[in-house]
């Protein structure tokens, strides 16, 4: 017969039990610290010139290059789903590209036609955003106009590129964009574009600044999506992944130049940057869940290694938790559907 333990030997029951707040879905909803809503999501979308039907992007399962008709349907679906916005990228014909990316500013260029079509479809029911950069339109794939450097190397000419961005932004505003989004990381781009927009009567068009855009390895699938002609890399103008202080300096400069919103890109590998950006910004902060992040989750789910929809929703929640007011994600429509269903993963 075993001896009865002395009461002094029995561990005391814990008084503080954090698990009380995790016991039921209703309790978890009640005390959840971070929320995710469809209105906080922006859908990036591609439109290609010269195609008759949507063209799948192999490295981004479920994402396509749109025709004008399919893009209008996608924009209408975004309104119905309650999304906050749509970000448009144009994919011109190869023969329309040149060293200056001049087709980007043409009224009949693919992106400006798309902006007009989408704005006609959705009016003011969805925020229509334009990618304001030259990389899709140049035959060398860089985000600006090139020149010879002091040692014979080829470099992006910052100040000549600003003039091209001004023209691009004004054309996009005239085509119907509510928001222009300079993503080239040129010095002074926000002040230059703001002055150009205001001079042409577009004072009400907002600027979403890609303020902390890194020279990241996670952009690979995007280059297929836009048919990039990139030669070399963009490390002389996009940011070094090693640097944090540099990002905060870039954000402050863009705020001082009049940015209406600022962005961190990529999102998931730069949540520390996103958190500190949110702490210093007095305007809304966006984060872009980029193509490589999309492709990684998609590929792992296809292998059966992770559960796709819960992983997607967790990834979006992590970006919100780090401080993003706005999340650009190729899963915007999927996420909106899951949220409408009550998001069972919570």
Residues marked as catalytic: 213, 265
Round to whole Å and give the CA distance between 326 and 37.
Answer: 10
Taken as a whole, the chain contains a residue count of 346
Torsion of CA 251, 254, 255, 258, to 10 degrees: -160
Residues 6+ apart with CB under 8 A from 42: 83, 84, 85, 86, 87, 127, 129, 286, 326, 327, 328, 329, 332
Round to whole Å and give the CA distance between 267 and 323.
Answer: 11
Map residue 147 onto helix, strand or coil.
strand
- Token pair recorded at residue 114: 């798309």
Q: Tell me the backbone φ, ψ of residue 285, rounded to 5 degrees.
A: -110, 130
Round to whole Å and give the CA distance between 138 and 134.
Answer: 6
């Amino acid at each position: 017969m075993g001896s009865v333990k002395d009461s002094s030997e029995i561990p005391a029951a814990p008084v503080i039990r954090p698990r009380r707040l995790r016991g039921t879905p209703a309790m978890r909803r009640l005390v959840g610290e971070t929320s995710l809503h469809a209105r906080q999501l922006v859908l990036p979308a591609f439109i290609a010139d010269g195609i008759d039907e949507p063209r799948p992007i192999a490295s981004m399962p479920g994402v396509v290059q749109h025709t004008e008709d399919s893009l209008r349907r996608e924009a209408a679906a975004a309104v119905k789903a309650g999304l906050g916005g749509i970000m448009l990228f144009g994919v011109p014909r190869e023969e329309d590209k040149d060293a200056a990316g001049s087709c980007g500013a043409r009224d009949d260029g693919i992106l400006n036609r798309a902006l007009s079509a989408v704005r006609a479809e959705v009016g003011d029911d969805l925020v229509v955003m334009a990618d304001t950069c030259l990389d899709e339109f140049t035959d060398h794939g860089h985000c600006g106009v090139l020149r010879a450097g002091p040692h014979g190397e080829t470099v992006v000419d910052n100040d000549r590129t600003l003039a091209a961005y001004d023209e691009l932004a004004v054309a996009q505003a005239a085509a119907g964009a509510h928001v222009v989004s300079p993503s080239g990381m040129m010095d002074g781009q926000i002040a230059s574009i703001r002055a150009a927009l205001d001079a042409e009567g577009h004072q009400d068009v907002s600027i979403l600044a890609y303020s902390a855009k890194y020279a990241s390895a996670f952009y690979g699938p995007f280059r297929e999506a836009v048919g990039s002609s990139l030669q070399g890399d963009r490390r002389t103008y996009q940011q070094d992944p090693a640097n944090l202080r540099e990002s905060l300096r870039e954000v402050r400069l863009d705020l001082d130049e009049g940015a209406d919103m600022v962005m961190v890109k990529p999102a998931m590998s730069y949540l520390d940057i996103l958190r500190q950006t949110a702490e210093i910004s007095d305007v809304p902060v966006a984060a872009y869940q980029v193509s490589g992040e999309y492709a990684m989750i998609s590929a792992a789910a296809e292998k059966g290694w992770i559960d796709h929809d819960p992983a997607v929703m967790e990834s979006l929640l992590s970006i919100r938790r780090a401080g993003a007011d706005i999340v650009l994600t190729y899963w915007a429509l999927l996420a909106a559907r899951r949220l409408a269903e009550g998001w069972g993963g919570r």
